């Protein structure tokens, strides 16, 4: 979200391309609430198919990430239910090594706030609530900020809708809840701008800025970093123009320092855990994965928009990163309107600053690598991000996600331009003539800017999310753990191992709380060199991959030597092995031959305690060379 303060609003410009707008009458207090209600109704419509059974349905397209966020929701709620804050380091996943939640998209703040919903209705219901509130709340926050900086009610409502219902936010909602819940960025930028333009009390506004930044830190650090970058670009544009009023540097420094201090007090310990605690990690020298926009993404509508073609939908669906990363679309009509409006009303500092910020963010979203997009091919050295991607923070950034903030800037350009266009129409007409035909022409001309803006925005109208059933808890799962009677600190090897490719175990653990400590998982963590990696395949040991392949994969070539699995078990030290399979399956045959008859067989679940009689688990000192590569894989 990018707004420029009214200190440099059109009213402070010398008369030129448009006279000052006449004073507005006070808007009825209920109208803004009506706009917010419309946003909420729109969000309910987009998520409507999920509400048919919110505990069992999720949006289709990214089941692994949805199951992962369900796990985080359960983890956060379980901690709050026991009177604790969520631990920042846990072995509930990836035992015995564990994970560092500060390096993961753990949505700690939303998870804690939605604890009552999670405990009463389950983690998937909390995710659907967060999804709807993220869309409606993002639009409402942008609307409120636009109104604060002088946009009319209708223009601000349209600009807020561009942000909250943009493809960048709606597509992020397919699986990336930490990005879709983009409520706080407009408020953060609003507070920062009030400080640097002298529009707010430095102490109070600085404290508010610090609280907002801390809240975003515990919601999604990546979006906080993108918001900071957006704010820097916006402030640079404003500073380059020069202030129209005197701003005391002392107040600016005091306000920003207060905000930084407030945020640091709240975030100091989590930051230390992230940067200096266990399982810390550093930048990957190879740079970020190629999660970037392409020029075609801006104009080819994906299939989850109301207006699309079969060809554009097929092109978007063919993108290797999937719809959750197809974030750049705005469409030809809106691109033309935004460009024309920015040029026509360039003298308006709000439009100029928002327009430049929008253009800069969209260019940065193209990344910094050489790319071929159909007939268009361009080297990375021509792109600004090429020179940023080696720096701290940027080396881990995913450039395409800057589209979220870029769409906020686009909404600002549209809102302020719409108001200026209406004012220009009134100024060009002068006093309305008395003849009825001329009055009708004038009325129509007043409606033209609004009609153009609406037509430009129509291509962004999203279709409802397609629902998909979440993985149900296997019959016999909870009864098996009740009979095993494992102590709280007992590690369990579940087959299939919880991973990004087969995330079922994460979902079962999120829905039931069992097992309490699970070997494997889907998370961000350091590799052996301490570099950041996204672990999608779970454990990289040959044994773990072999077991997953037996569970639901192509027939295995040959048999895994028992010594390899025993070596892994010697490192994992599970108190039990629980396999969701039948004795007659390939996996069942293998485990029966290796571990003997199961101690429990209930429904579709086989379970073995660590028995003294079994040769599989008494060889604790042994470990093969791969045994300590417990975490690996790529998303």
567 neighbors 592 (Cβ within 8 angstroms)? no
List beta partners, residue 580.
605
Dump the DSSP string for 358-402. Answer: HHHHHHHTT-SS-EEETTEEE-GGGSGGGGTTTSTTGGG--GGGG
pLDDT in tens, 102-149: 999 999 999 999 999 999 999 999 999 999 999 999 999 999 999 999
Contacts of 481 (CB under 8 A, 6+ apart): 512, 514, 515, 578
Over range 605-613, report the average pLDDT: 76
Percent of the chain at pLDDT > 90 equals 63
List beta partners, residue 494.
578
The C-alpha atoms of residue 627 and residue 320 are separated, in whole angstroms, by 32
Dump the DSSP string for 517-537. Answer: EESB--EEEE-TTSBEEEE-S
The C-alpha atoms of residue 160 and residue 172 are separated, in whole angstroms, by 17
Q: Give the DSSP H or E segment for 59.
A: strand 57-59
The per-residue pLDDT for 562 is: 64
At 74, give phi and psi (nearest 5°): -65, -40
- Look at the block and give the residue holding tokens 């026991």: 82
Please, where are the H alpha helices in 458-583? 477-484, 504-512, 542-552, 562-572
pLDDT at 79 over 90: yes
The per-residue pLDDT for 546 is: 80
447 or 634: which carries more pLDDT confidence? 447
CA 68, 73, 76 angle in degrees (round to 5)?
A: 125
Contacts of 474 (CB under 8 A, 6+ apart): 508, 580, 603, 604, 605
Q: Give the DSSP H or E segment for 491.
A: strand 491-495
Farthest-apart Cα atoms in the chain, separation = 102
The per-residue pLDDT for 553 is: 60
415 neighbors 158 (Cβ within 8 angstroms)? yes
Over range 176-197, report the average pLDDT: 96
The per-residue pLDDT for 614 is: 45
Please tell me the number of Cα atoms within 13 Å of 313 on its side-chain side.
9
Integer CA distances (angstroms), 104 to 216, 222, 268, in order? 14, 10, 17
pLDDT band at 431 (very low <50, low <70, confident <90, very high): low
pLDDT in tens, 546-580: 887 788 765 555 566 666 777 777 888 899 999 99
> What is the rounded average pLDDT for all residues in the chain?
85
* Length of the chain in terms of residues written: 635
The C-alpha atoms of residue 524 and residue 281 are separated, in whole angstroms, by 10
The C-alpha atoms of residue 180 and residue 87 are separated, in whole angstroms, by 24
Q: Residue 98: which of 278, 221, 219 has the closest Cα? A: 278
Over range 480-496, report the average pLDDT: 93
Please, where are the H alpha helices in 149-201? 153-164, 167-172, 177-180, 184-196
- 181: preceding bond cis by omega (within 30 degrees): no
Q: Residue 93: which of 568, 486, 525 has the closest Cα? A: 525
pLDDT in tens, 249-267: 888 899 999 999 999 999 9
Integer CA distances (angstroms), 438 to 425, 448, 465, 558, in order? 14, 16, 47, 87
For the ranges 307-316, 453-462, 497-506, 510-519, the lowest mean pLDDT is seen at 497-506
The per-residue pLDDT for 4 is: 44
The C-alpha atoms of residue 338 and residue 321 are separated, in whole angstroms, by 28
Radius of gyration of the chain (CA): 27
Burial class of 481 by CB neighbour count within 10 A (0 to 12, 13 to 18, 19+): buried
212 neighbors 185 (Cβ within 8 angstroms)? no
Integer CA distances (angstroms), 473 to 233, 411, 469, 508, in order? 48, 43, 12, 6
């Amino acid at each position: 979200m990018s707004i420029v303060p009214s200190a440099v609003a059109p009213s402070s410009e010398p008369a030129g391309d448009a006279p000052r707008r006449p004073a507005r009458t006070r808007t009825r207090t209920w109208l803004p609430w009506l706009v917010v209600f419309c946003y909420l109704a729109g969000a309910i419509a987009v998520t409507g198919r999920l509400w048919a059974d919110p505990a069992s349905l999720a949006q289709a397209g990214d089941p692994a990430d949805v199951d992962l966020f369900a796990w985080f929701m359960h983890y956060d709620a379980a901690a709050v239910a026991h009177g604790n804050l969520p631990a920042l380091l846990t072995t509930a996943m990836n035992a015995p090594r564990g994970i560092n939640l500060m390096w993961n998209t753990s949505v700690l703040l939303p998870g804690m706030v939605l604890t009552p919903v999670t405990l009463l209705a389950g983690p998937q219901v909390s995710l659907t609530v967060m999804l709807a509130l993220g869309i409606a709340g993002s639009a409402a926050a942008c609307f409120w900020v636009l109104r604060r900086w002088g946009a009319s009610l209708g223009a601000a409502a349209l600009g807020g809708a561009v942000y909250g219902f943009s493809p960048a936010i709606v597509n992020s909602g397919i699986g990336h809840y930490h990005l879709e819940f983009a409520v706080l960025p407009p408020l953060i930028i609003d507070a920062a701008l009030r400080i640097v333009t002298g529009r707010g009390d430095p102490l109070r506004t600085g404290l508010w800025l610090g609280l907002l930044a801390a809240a975003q830190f515990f919601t999604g650090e990546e979006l906080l970093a993108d918001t900071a970058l957006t704010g820097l670009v916006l402030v640079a544009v404003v500073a380059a123009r020069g202030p129209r009023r005197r701003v005391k540097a002392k107040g600016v420094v005091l306000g920003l320092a207060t905000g930084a201090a407030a945020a640091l007090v709240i975030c100091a310990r989590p930051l230390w855990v992230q940067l200096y605690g266990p399982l810390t990690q550093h930048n990957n020298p190879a740079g970020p994965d190629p999660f970037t926009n392409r020029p075609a993404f801006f104009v080819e509508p994906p299939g989850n928009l109301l207006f699309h073609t079969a060809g554009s939908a097929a092109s978007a669906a063919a993108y290797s990163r999937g719809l959750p990363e197809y974030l750049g679309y705005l469409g030809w009509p809106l691109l033309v309107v935004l460009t024309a409006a920015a040029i026509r009303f360039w003298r308006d500092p709000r439009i100029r600053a928002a327009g430049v910020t929008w253009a800069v963010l969209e260019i940065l979203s193209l990344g910094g690598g050489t790319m071929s997009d159909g007939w268009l091919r361009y080297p990375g050295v021509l792109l600004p991000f090429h020179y940023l991607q080696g720096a701290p923070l940027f080396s881990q950034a995913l450039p395409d996600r800057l589209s979220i903030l870029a769409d906020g800037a686009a909404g600002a350009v549209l809102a302020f331009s719409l108001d200026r266009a209406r004012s220009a129409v009134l100024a060009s007409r002068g006093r309305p003539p008395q003849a009825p035909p001329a009055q009708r022409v004038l009325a129509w001309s007043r409606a033209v800017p609004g009609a153009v803006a609406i037509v430009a925005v129509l291509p962004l109208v999203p279709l409802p999310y397609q629902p998909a059933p979440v993985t149900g808890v296997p019959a016999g799962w909870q009864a098996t753990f009740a009979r095993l009677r494992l102590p709280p600190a007992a590690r369990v090897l579940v087959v299939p191992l919880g991973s990004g490719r087969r995330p079922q175990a994460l979902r079962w653990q999120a829905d039931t709380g069992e097992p309490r400590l699970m070997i494997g998982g889907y998370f961000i963590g350091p590799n052996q060199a301490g570099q950041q990696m996204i672990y999608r395949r779970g454990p990289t040991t040959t044994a773990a991959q072999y077991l997953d392949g037996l569970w639901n994969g192509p027939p295995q070539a040959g048999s895994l030597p028992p010594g390899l699995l025993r070596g892994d078990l010697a490192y994992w030290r599970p108190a039990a092995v629980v396999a969701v399979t039948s004795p007659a399956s390939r996996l069942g045959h293998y485990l029966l031959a290796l571990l003997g008859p199961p101690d429990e067989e209930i429904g579709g679940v086989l379970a073995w305690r660590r028995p003294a009689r079994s040769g599989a688990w008494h060889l604790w000192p042994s470990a093969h060379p791969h045994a300590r590569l417990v975490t690996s894989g790529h998303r």
